[in-house]
Amino acid sequence: MMSSTTAVTAAIDRVPVEICKGINGLEKVVLREARGSSAEVYLFGGHVTSWKNDHGEELLFISNKAIFKPPKPIRGGIPICFPQFSNHGSLEQHGFARNRFWSIDTNPPPFPTNSPTKTFVDLILKSTEEDMKIWPHSFEFRLRVTLGPSGDLMLTSRIRNNNTDGKPFTFTFAYHTYFSVSDISEVRVEGLETLDYLDNLQNKQRFTEQGDAITFESEVDKIYLSTPTKIAILDHEKKRTFVIRKDGLPDAVVWNPWDKKAKAMADFGDDEYKHMLCVEAAAVEKPITLKPGEEWRGRQELSAVPSSYCSGQLDPQRVLLGS
């Protein structure tokens, strides 16, 4: 599992990013910020595999048994689910974007942003003839991965319908983020209480969440519907809170396989479910339809803030309602 140290530096827009060989020789892009935070993106899958804070601590979960061998998607980090979330359709589970080779987009169209951030990389995935056999649509998927000066990680997706036959297309989508947590039994998610959800463990039936913050003591696989733009994951033991801000992505999937499913996954350690939680900004319940020439945009921004919940320094309401 050693990464190659031969790094090539390429100037992409204003701040140079490193392009080097990662595990099994797969190409990856490394973003670094002056204060010490970093992120890594594999071209295979357009897949963020690492996000570290200023102290070099890894914030995303990657399985020790992850197989960096195409076409098997990488277990952990941030897989991109497109054009289908999970088994909600006739395509392979979570669509094909997570196991295609993306390219660096050297000349992306103007990217409207208020942010002065210069540390980013633009990737692009276009439909190939092979893809058209399973999903007969011409698309361009542009993904910008940005590392903010304070270490925040932003992913913005722009998906365009390039069909020349006049036909619209419809898709579902998710940023399947695996957060690294100290101990799943010490974690709570805030922002989803009282919402309706579809339970993947009960034939996608619809239920309503009770009033308390969400905690974990068994397998969970739920799609929360019409969620707020901000969701917080409080890691009591680590005294860290992840804040997810999202735009264009109304749903939020919460997944932890727990012990039995963990054992059934070849690329996941038996006990690793204790140290991860997926909270996925998604568009599932109401699929997105694009006419030819139309573009959709979906964005998530992740921050990790130190919290001392037990000593009352963190007011969860402020995390959720504040800026």
Q: How far apart are CA 295 and CA 160, in angstroms?
A: 4
Strands in 86-217 per DSSP E: 103-104, 120-126, 139-147, 153-161, 169-175, 178-180, 187-190, 196-199, 205-208
Q: Does 86 bind ligand BG6 (CB under 6 A)?
A: yes
Task: Say which residues have a Cβ less than 8 Å from residue 106's Cβ, sequence separation at least 6.
Answer: 12, 122
Q: How far is CA 242 from CA 46, 174, 303, in A?
A: 22, 18, 6
Q: Does 285 bind ligand BG6 (CB under 6 A)?
A: no
* The one catalytic residue among 190, 272, 280, 301: 280
Considering only residues 40, 131, 221, 272, which one is a binding residue for ligand BG6 as defined by CB under 6 A? Answer: 221
Nearer to ligand BG6, 94 or 238 (CB): 94
Least Å from the CB of residue 203 to ligand BG6: 12
Least Å from the CB of residue 12 to ligand BG6: 29
Strands in 34-75 per DSSP E: 38-42, 47-52
Least Å from the CB of residue 33 to ligand BG6: 29
Considering only residues 156, 172, 200, 227, which one is a binding residue for ligand BG6 as defined by CB under 6 A? Answer: 200
Nearer to ligand BG6, 105 or 221 (CB): 221
Beta bridge partners of 161: 139
In the block, tokens 């999937």 appear at 253
Q: Which two tokens stand for residue 186?
A: 């010490």
* The one catalytic residue among 176, 190, 236, 285: 176
Least Å from the CB of residue 253 to ligand BG6: 5
Beta bridge partners of 58: 52
- Is 40 noted as a catalytic residue in this protein? no
Q: Give yes or no for a contact between 95 and 170, defined as CB atoms under 8 angstroms apart.
A: no
Q: Does 88 bind ligand BG6 (CB under 6 A)?
A: no
93 in a known ligand binding site: yes
Considering only residues 28, 52, 94, 158, which one is a binding residue for ligand BG6 as defined by CB under 6 A? Answer: 94
- Is 275 noted as a catalytic residue in this protein? no
Closest listed residue to residue 139, CA positions, set 177, 184, 103, 170 = 170
Q: How far apart are CA 8 and CA 27, in angstroms?
A: 11
Considering only residues 167 through 186, tell me which ones interact with ligand BG6, judged by CB under 6 A: 176
In the block, tokens 């139309």 appear at 294
Least Å from the CB of residue 93 to ligand BG6: 4
Catalytic machinery residues = 176, 280
* Interface residues toward ligand BG6, by CB under 6 A: 86, 93-94, 176, 200, 221, 253, 255, 280
Q: Which residues belong to the annotated binding site?
A: 75, 93, 98
